[in-house]
């Protein structure tokens, strides 16, 4: 296969991979497509088949390892926790003494049932605590 034909094959492979990426949005196929573009450039420059495959593999792996994680974060944005998961890690103020059995805390302006996360600690009214977990309608604090 002459170098003109080889670069065209790699270009078609790149186009197909990048086109298929539109159906997945995982950014894996586009990274492989970038590797195919690199192989097409190598083939166009007269590289032999071994060099073309090395270019394809190295550029594909490089983009998958180094470029894809940042691209995925940028594309999908930060993870947004919802519901009670969004309360975990937030600060609460004790409004009724909290121990391993019961108590009350104010979280984001709302009063919640609460108990000590370790089941033994005690917190006095006015103490600032962190929400470690939500168990049903009860905040486990520490």
Are residues 12 and 70 both part of a single domain?
A: yes
- Do 8 and 69 lie in one domain? The reply is yes
- Which one of 47, 76, 105 terminates a domain? 76
Same domain membership, residue 127 and residue 63: no
| Total domain count, the chain | 2
Model confidence at 3: pLDDT above 70: no
Residue 134 sits in a domain whose CATH number is: 2.40.50.140
What span, in angstroms and rounded, lies between the C-alpha atoms of 117 and 4? Answer: 68
- How many helices (H) and strands (E) in the chain? 4, 5
What tokens appear for 76 in the block? 């999908």
Segments forming the whole domain that contains residue 64: 3-76
Of 24, 43, 76, the residue at which a domain comes to its end is 76
60 shares its domain with 99: no
| Cα–Cα dist 116/96, whole Å | 12
* pLDDT over 90 (residue 92): yes
Name the DSSP class of 23: H
pTM (global) more than 0.85: no
Q: 49 and 17 in one domain?
A: yes
Of 54, 76, 98, the residue that ends a domain is 76
Is the CB of residue 97 less than 8 Å from the CB of residue 103? Answer: yes
Is 8 found in the same domain as 71? Answer: yes
pLDDT at 19 over 90: yes
Model confidence pLDDT, tens digit, residues 44-70 = 999 999 999 999 999 999 999 999 999
Same domain for 45 and 13: yes
């Amino acid at each position: 296969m002459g170098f003109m034909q080889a670069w065209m094959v790699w270009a078609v492979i790149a186009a197909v991979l990048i086109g298929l990426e539109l159906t997945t949005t995982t950014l894996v196929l586009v990274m492989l497509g970038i590797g195919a573009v690199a192989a097409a450039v190598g083939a166009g420059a007269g590289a032999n088949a071994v060099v073309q495959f090395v270019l394809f593999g190295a550029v594909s792996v490089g983009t998958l390892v180094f470029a894809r994680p940042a691209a995925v974060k940028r594309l999908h944005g930060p993870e947004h926790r919802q519901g009670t998961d969004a309360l975990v890690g937030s600060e609460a103020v004790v409004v009724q003494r909290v121990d391993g059995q019961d108590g009350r805390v104010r979280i984001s302006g709302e009063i919640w049932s609460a108990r000590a996360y370790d089941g033994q600690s005690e917190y006095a009214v006015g103490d600032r605590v962190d929400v470690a977990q939500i168990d049903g309608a009860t905040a486990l604090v520490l």
